[in-house]
A and B are shown apart, each in its own frame.
Chain A
């Protein structure tokens, strides 16, 4: 919502573009992939397909980007994905990177936590950027791609599955038509129409506690450090989060009291009063403008299966997670990047259909992992019962004199998920004493000229230490690194070791002593070629 007198798209710092409906041909060929929803997740899916040379039609029912700044924290792993898609430059330019968080209890600092970071990392653990810019920067790349046909003001209203094909009923200002696609990626958000049309429902829990998120514009002198205020004077018993965004925009996120009416809390005067209380408490004395606000509750909801025949769910259509873990959008980006290369490989006949069955265990697994962490954070931020509240308060109170107790307030924002249990992940080579395990995301290392991540290919990459025997495999990029030195150490490697990296930057397999036969077999197994359907 925005202050009285300003429209939904009347932002203090962002000009929303307007997109016309498409002028489409009278008849058209079936498309390989239709993506429903041009939010951040749908656009990442489209860019991933394009990177693998695939055409898609991208449909969105709006005439512009999502309103409001919404998801503002982009994680390192997402930056690696954006980098691999060749679009990270604009993000780096505009966003604010950060590593530190501080927690306060009744005005006193009880904890400062640093997320893991080092000179070996190309990207910081987290970056803050308003979601409109996330969408705008992705859109720049989408609009330039000859392989992506975006259709705005185009709403999917029907879906019919047939063998080998899905027919979408699409409504735009010029009428209704059928669009045929081999595969569909449903990135149409929390209220997914595709989900409903497929007869599916999200399952899980709605947690206690409601939060208002408000963005204000102000000249405020504090570094990009996430602040969490527990039981602050401005909101006794509640929790407040403060994040810095670019353009002098600050995100104030505060918990409503039990029994406080959402309707009342969402009124402009209430938001202004609450925000000014918080600003007074953090010592901001200058003026401020209210930009946008919204309300949310902490839900852990997801689909039983992210695949429904030829339809794949990605992003909010598949899962709703509490935002304390800042994984909603980041997980959605990883979903899109994961399903994108798999669909491309199947369409190009490089992989068997069974490859697609790895999508749910990998990405649903990632959501369940977020739930486990976020449920802990949520219980801390919004204790669901007397017992949790009393222990939370005890921990905070103890943290005033004992640093160790403050660690209980750590929001655990950066645990990258590993596909260790995925059917695609090879059993580990027991010869390794260290280094990232199969299933984990690739570990960046600073090299003499840039970073290891800069040298990864668009498809599969083999990181070879020393000179192992390599298979002659089309599309396989090889990064050769010395068998001693920083990279070899990080990877626990010796002469002849190798790591096989998937197109989505996760490790498929590793060998202390690689051979072309082992590598060829691993690739075959990942691509489910043995189980390839005719």
Chain B
């Protein structure tokens, strides 16, 4: 995927998340994830991405971070 393509996707996602009403965003993202991994059609890679995205969610020591 080119830098340009990735940017297009990045923007589309930002706009979609903004356009979705409060309370529906999590559902949207979960649905998107499910649809994308099915399209990916590769179990090991999907599992790896699922784990990858769990990391780095909270900056270590960042103000206001709670667990």
The answer to whether A395 and B27 have CB atoms under 8 Å apart is no
Which residues B20-46 have CB closer than 8 A to chain A?
A: 26-27, 30-31, 33-35, 38
The answer to whether B38 and A404 have CB atoms under 8 Å apart is yes
The answer to whether B35 and A390 have CB atoms under 8 Å apart is no
Chain A positions 392 through 410: 1 when the CB is less than 8 Å from some CB of chain B, otherwise 0: 0111011000101100000
Q: Which residues of B come within 8 Å of A, CB atoms?
A: 26-27, 30-31, 33-35, 38
Give Cα A394 to B33, complex, Å: 9
In which size bucket is the chain A interface?
10 to 19
The answer to whether B26 and A391 have CB atoms under 8 Å apart is no
Other A-B contacts than A390-B26, A390-B30, 10 sampled, CB-CB below 8 A, are A391-B30, A391-B34, A393-B31, A394-B30, A394-B33, A395-B31, A397-B27, A398-B34, A405-B35, A405-B38
The answer to whether B30 and A402 have CB atoms under 8 Å apart is no
Give Cα A340 to B53, complex, Å: 55
For residue A390, give the distance in angstroms from its CB to the closest CB of chain B.
5
Nearest residue (CB) in A for B26 is A390
The answer to whether B30 and A393 have CB atoms under 8 Å apart is yes
Q: Which residues of A come within 8 Å of B, CB atoms?
A: 390-391, 393-395, 397-398, 402, 404-405
- Residues of A contacting B30 with CB < 8 Å? 390-391, 393-394
Give Cα A390 to B23, complex, Å: 11
What are 23 of the A-B contact pairs (CB < 8 Å)? A390-B26, A390-B27, A390-B30, A391-B30, A391-B34, A393-B27, A393-B30, A393-B31, A394-B27, A394-B30, A394-B31, A394-B33, A394-B34, A395-B31, A397-B31, A398-B31, A398-B34, A398-B35, A402-B35, A402-B38, A404-B38, A405-B35, A405-B38
- Residues of A contacting B34 with CB < 8 Å? 391, 394-395, 398, 405
- Residues of A contacting B31 with CB < 8 Å? 393-395, 397-398
Which of A390, A394, A398, A405 is the most central at the interface, judged by chain B CB atoms within 10 Å of its CB? Answer: A394
Give Cα A394 to B29, complex, Å: 8
Give Cα A258 to B4, complex, Å: 47
- Residues of A contacting B38 with CB < 8 Å? 402, 404-405
For residue A404, give the distance in angstroms from its CB to the closest CB of chain B.
6
- Residues of A contacting B26 with CB < 8 Å? 390
Give Cα A299 to B31, complex, Å: 29
For residue B39, give the distance in angstroms from its CB to the closest CB of chain A.
10
- Residues of A contacting B33 with CB < 8 Å? 394
Nearest residue (CB) in B for A408 is B34
Nearest residue (CB) in B for A405 is B34
Nearest residue (CB) in B for A401 is B35
